[in-house]
Structure 1
Amino acid sequence: MPCYRCGARQIDPVRGASPWKRAVRREAQVLVCPDCQRVHDLDLDTCASCGSIALICRLGEIECRSCGEIRLARAGEPLVAAGSSGPPGATGSPGPSGLSGLAAEVEAALSRVLGRP
């Protein structure tokens, strides 16, 4: 998964903790690269109770890692709203094969590896 903000791909980490951070944006799990973490206007979701951006999204729930509050995520919301700018392929608009962004990339990679036309 690339950085939601700049589109940089995560590379194999050196030993130890990854410098990439997980966050929630528009109720979807995203990754933030070390360079983008330095930017103060990341437009990330915050906890309604404590205001923290230390959120994780899993199994349809969003949990605050600071205070522990858990709430249900709204299903069907787009990752990036129409008309907003984001990294290529993050808009959810279908590509030439009818698939959106990352799904189209995965389909193309599988086709190359498996020798599909």
Structure 2
Amino acid sequence: MPCFMCGARQTDPARGASPWRRGVRADRQVLVCPRCQTEHDWTAGLDRCAACGSASLVCRLGEVECRDCGHTREAVRDQDGPADDRDLVRSGAQSRDSGLSEEVAAALSRVLRRGPTPD
């Protein structure tokens, strides 16, 4: 899942806690990369807890839970989501991800061209 703000893709993490942050937007789980956390008010576009106003929400198993106060509610959304939320990634992110299929194809070629297996 890419960063919902810039579209950056996660790479293999180093040991320890991930620097990426989770949030909820339009009752969908989203991720925010470390760069966007420092360069933007990354909580501005996220849903807030109805009980305490926190943006520390997680969405799982059809529920949205606040990590600060524990308040839970049912996640409600359309099949396609709201019209303005169909593309959670802001402009410019698609151009960075346009080569994803080519990267995947190249990686598969490298892995699958190991040579014939011995009988």
TM-score by length of 2: 0.68
Which residue is 1:69 aligned to? 71
Of Structure 1 and Structure 2, the greater helix share is in 2
Matched pairs, number: 99
Contact 1:25/1:45 (<8 A) preserved: yes
| SS across alignment from 1:88 | helix
Q: What's the % identity of the aligned pairs?
A: 48
Which residue is 2:28 aligned to? 28
Which residue is 1:40 aligned to? 41
In structure 1, stretches of 5+ residues that fail to align are 90-100
The structural deviation recorded for 1:30 is 0.3
The structural deviation recorded for 1:37 is 1.2
TM-score by length of 1: 0.69
The structural deviation recorded for 1:83 is 9.1
Contact 1:20/1:34 (<8 A) preserved: yes
Q: Which protein is bigger by CA-based radius of gyration?
A: 2
Provide the C-alpha distance between the structure 2 equivalents of 1:23 and 1:82, rounded to a whole number of angstroms.
14
Q: 1:79 to 1:19 in 2, by over 3 A?
A: farther
For the aligned residue pairs, the C-alpha RMSD in angstroms reads: 3.1
